[in-house]
Structure 1
């Protein structure tokens, strides 16, 4: 896991969760829906922002791929192969 990708993902999730935990307080292995109350719309906003922030094209992921990303670690691990590869 690249520190830059994790940092960007933490910052973007904290931004979407406005008023929730800060980037450093987010648990990489917590379920984003159950723990932080992330809605499907907010998840899409988060994914768009984190993809923009890392240069990974959102088009690399299907709807099913995104649905399977339950934790912040899932997101970071999924993004890693595509960082800097906008499509």
Structure 2
């Protein structure tokens, strides 16, 4: 069974953050840049979470990806494209 989008996003984000932060401690409204996420790590994070929840990156434009500035925004954006099982 695939991860829920929020669980997958929290886990993927925790793996690329420079500080050791447990997934459940990540504030969904915190700015990813303020958490220390670099542009490269944002790409790695988004690729990883898309793979985990089976949502293709092709659903998003460069502008869409740039607009995802918080964990909550990523979860909302991915939720619009996730298949319901």
C-alpha distance in 2 between matches for 1:42 and 1:66:
13
- 1:81 Cα offset (Å): 1.6
Please state whether the residue corresponding to 1:27 is helix, strand or coil: coil
Gap runs ≥5 in structure 2: none
Question: In the alignment, is residue 11 of structure 1 matched against residue 11 of structure 2?
Answer: yes
Please state whether the residue corresponding to 2:44 is helix, strand or coil: helix
Aligned length: 82
Identify the residue that residue 24 of structure 1 maps to in structure 2. Answer: 24
Displaced runs of 4 or more, over 2 A:
none
- 1:19 Cα offset (Å): 4.2
- 1:83 Cα offset (Å): 1.6
TM normalised by structure 2 equals: 0.89
Q: When you count helix as a share of all residues, which structure comes out higher? A: 1
Please state whether the residue corresponding to 2:20 is helix, strand or coil: coil
Gap runs ≥5 in structure 1: none
RMSD across aligned positions (CA): 1.7
Superposed counterparts of 1:30-69, under 5 Å: 30-34=30-34, 36-69=35-68
- 1:17 Cα offset (Å): 1.4
